[in-house]
Amino acid sequence: MANKRSHGRAGDPPPLPEALPVPVVDNHTHLDIVLDAVPGTPEEALAKAASVGIDRVVQVGVDVASSRWSADLADAHPGVLAAVAVHPNEAPMLIGERFEAALAEIDELASRPRVRAVGETGMDFFRTQGSDELARQELSFRRHIDIAKRHDLALMIHDRDAHDDVFRVLAEEGAPRTVVFHCYSGDVSMAHKCAEHGYYMSFAGNSTFAKAQNLRDAATAAPRDLLLVETDAPFLTPSPYRGRPNASYLVPLTVRALAEARGEDLTELCTALSDNSERVYGPW
């Protein structure tokens, strides 16, 4: 199971939402874990998403095995692109030759044509603690930045309780041409800082939660041309289905919540979100 996180989702999958007027991308999903939570085939999951206007996805790896699976899935399906990495909570468990071997394979996978991002990588001060573990996590982040720059791929960042240090490392290493803060968790001030650097901000289902006004405020502050949307499925199922299994077909719930928070026309926002995704990852 990716990142050794229990999917922890109970109950039946939520019903299909109303389709979006313009197709949009799920910029971050873990379809391998989705299919563990709700058995089925990738084809069925992708078709279900496409039926409500989510016609493209970015399938994200969190270790060597899931990154390889992601790259293979992208090769097999025209609506899928892949991101490959060792997750920041996995990296501290890899020491010495195991770490070097894992990074070498991520580097090799990054050369495949339908791998368009290095991620998810970054820093996580919530699950990973202890000076040695955090040092190895930071080293891994730096190495992933190097891989992204050498392959000219987007860098997909996992940032949990580590905003200042993530920005510090990006500044010290020199950020790749394209940076995405996956499952954006900062405030309005950080949104302005991301905008200054041209970093993309990808909002997930947690931005719909009743107590997440801070995320909706940040989404409102983000320039439209730096805005993305994602599921992080099967996690962070949008309201009103929080706690049930998440999947790409539920992106419309988040998109509609973002349109309402920003006071924007839904069709115009969908068009912008689609254009932004193609600018980050290239054509599907």
Q: Which of 49, 104, 106 is nearest to 79 (CA)?
A: 49
Per domain, the residue ranges of the chain are 26-281
Ligand-binding site membership of 77 (annotated) = no
Looking at the DSSP bridge assignments, the partners of residue 59 are 29, 82
Ligand-binding site membership of 87 (annotated) = no
Q: What is the pLDDT of residue 11?
A: 79
- Kindly list the averaged pLDDT for each block of 10 residues, start to end, along the chain of length 284: 49 94 98 93 98 98 98 98 97 92 98 98 85 93 98 98 97 98 98 98 98 98 98 98 96 98 98 98 97
Place of tokens 């996580």: 124
- Fold observed for domain 26-281: TIM Barrel (3.20.20)
The sign one gets for the Cα dihedral 127, 132, 138, 141 is negative
Q: What is the pLDDT of residue 256?
A: 98
Q: What is the pLDDT of residue 128?
A: 73
Q: What is the pLDDT of residue 3?
A: 41
Q: What is the pLDDT of residue 1?
A: 33
Alpha-carbon gap, residue 275 to 17, rounded angstroms: 22
Looking at the DSSP bridge assignments, the partners of residue 118 are 84, 155
Ligand-binding site membership of 144 (annotated) = no
Ligand-binding site membership of 151 (annotated) = no
Q: What is the pLDDT of residue 129?
A: 76
User: What would the DSSP string read from start to end of the chain?
Assistant: -GGG------SSPPPPPPPPSS-EEEEEE-HHHHHHHS---HHHHHHHHHTTTEEEEEEE-SSHHHHHHHHHHHHH-TTEEEEE---TTTGGG--THHHHHHHHHHHHHTTSTTEEEEEEEEEETTT--SHHHHHHHHHHHHHHHHHHHHHT-EEEEEEES-HHHHHHHHHHH---S-EEETT----HHHHHHHHHHT-EEEE-GGGGSTT-HHHHHHHHHS-GGGEEE---BTSSPPTTSTTSPP-GGGHHHHHHHHHHHHT--HHHHHHHHHHHHHHHH---
Q: What is the pLDDT of residue 241?
A: 97
Q: What is the pLDDT of residue 9?
A: 64
Q: What is the pLDDT of residue 127?
A: 73
Ligand-binding site membership of 182 (annotated) = yes
